[in-house]
Copies of this chain bind each other. A is one copy, B any other.
Amino acid sequence: MPPRSPLAPDAFPELPVIGGARFAYVEAGVRYKNRPDVMLAVLDPGTVMTGVFTRSATRSACVLDCQRKITGDDGGKGAAILVNSGNSNAFTGRAGEDSVNAICKAVAEITGVPEYRVFTSSTGVIGERLPHDRITAKLAELKDKLSPNALPDAARAIMTTDTFPKAATAEIDVDGKTVRIAGIAKGSGMVAPDMATMLVYIFTDARIGRDALQSLVSEISDKTFNNITVDSDTSTSDTLLMAATGASGVDVTWNAEFTQALYDVMLDLAHQVVRDGEGATKFVTVHVTGAASDADARTHALSIANSPLVKTALAGEDPNWGRIVMAIGKSGARAERDLISIRFGEILVAEKGWVAQSYKEADGAGYFKSPEIDINVDLGIGEGMATVWTCDLTHGYISINADYRS
């Protein structure tokens, strides 16, 4: 096990009970021994389910199954989510679908949730047959252990190369009633279909229609999870599922406070994934303004955040702004060399096509010693803006992905 990321939060948050949701975890030995590797969530009837999924053309059997089910009629039924780590059941041909169907059928039987409302995720090695009988053999034990308090342990059961479990929570008050959100995530990058994939599960006791929740979740994903990158490699299994049980009795449709709270939870989880980026020693915010459009701003920000030369400069604490100029230049989005300005935090580094007169290399070097770095770029063209979060590229990344055989 690699050591806990130096960028990890100080403590795991205290998660509230989400009415209408119960959780359990077991050691099923899918691949790992002596650690929890399967989690089950069971949601009460009336729960609204929404989700966003990887756009990979080679996505896994369980992602395809979730995508089919997420838009189906829920009939006011409950729902279940079963997740295993250790094996991603991706690129496993027809056998992959058979495994998904076998698990969904067995979960439906034991929980009473209809099969079309059972969602599964798998994360771990790719291309190996999922030994789904090891999972189904544990369903009775999982059912017995279901508890409203088991979400923190579920966060542990879905880890692969993660160095810390990830959770975030928020509460809002609506007319004297409390609405709660609690989410968990795993991921050591966007990244790695091999041993690290991004999975996110968020639960709330709010009452909200499916279309309203789906559009919220999609929109906020675009501003949070879709704007993080560890190494530019997109997983075959990325999945975010959100369940709204309605148990609070509070309708949050179009509630701005709920939107903000959900955004906070999702951003927090997204940041935790970056903070656990493989080998990461720097948490980096790339903020681009003044672009011709928001899309152009995001293209520039991702070009900077994914550049191996920018990422190695960050790792080396080298305030090498020339590499940022390079990444802007290569992105393909519109830029005018002499209108670009670059700031490290508050420090003006470059403007008018050259280094700023006020800039001192020592200031940049001092700033780059911080574990949290803001790279601010203004393109001086228009109103487009975007923020992307990333980490550095270190020997640790190479060690995790090259030195150890999977």
Give chain A's interface residues, CB within 8 Å of chain B.
54, 56-59, 90-96, 125-127, 191-194, 231-236, 306-309, 312-313, 315-316, 318, 320-323, 325-331, 334-338, 340, 350, 352-355, 392-395, 397-399, 401-406
Contacts and interface: CB of A to CB of B under 8 A. Distances in A.
A92 B399 CA distance: 37
B309 A233 contact: yes
A401 B325 contact: no
Contacts of A399: 395
Given A233-B308, A350-B91, A406-B318, A56 B326 contact: yes
Contact of A59 (B126, B127, B323, B329): B329
A329 B58 contact: yes
A233 B352 contact: no
A340 B309 contact: no
A94 B401 contact: no
A51 to B, nearest CB: 18
Given A308-B397, A337-B91, A56 B322 contact: no
A138 to B, nearest CB: 26
Contacts of A125: 322
A95 B330 contact: no
Contacts of A402: 312-313, 315-316, 318, 392-395
A322 B233 contact: no
A266 B297 CA distance: 36
A127 B325 contact: yes
A337 B58 contact: yes
B398 A127 contact: no
Contacts of A308: 231-233, 308, 393, 397, 401
B127 A329 contact: no
Contact of A127 (B56, B234, B307, B321): B321
A199 to B, nearest CB: 16
A405 B316 contact: yes
Given A56-B326, A231-B309, A91 B320 contact: no
B316 A403 contact: yes
Given A307-B233, A353-B91, A397-B312, A127 B322 contact: yes
B330 A233 contact: yes
Contact of A236 (B96, B234, B312, B326): B326
A56 to B, nearest CB: 4
A354 B93 contact: yes
Given A338-B93, A406-B318, A56 B395 contact: no
Contacts of A397: 308, 312, 398
Given A57-B330, A58-B335, A316-B403, 5 more contacts: A57-B336, A58-B325, A91-B325, A95-B354, A126-B323
A194 B320 contact: yes
B194 A323 contact: yes
Residue among A58, A126, A394 having the largest count of chain B Cβ atoms under 10 Å = A58
A393 B353 CA distance: 32
Nearest to A93: B354
A183 B76 CA distance: 72
Contacts of A331: 57
Given A91-B350, A326-B235, A350-B127, A309 B192 contact: yes
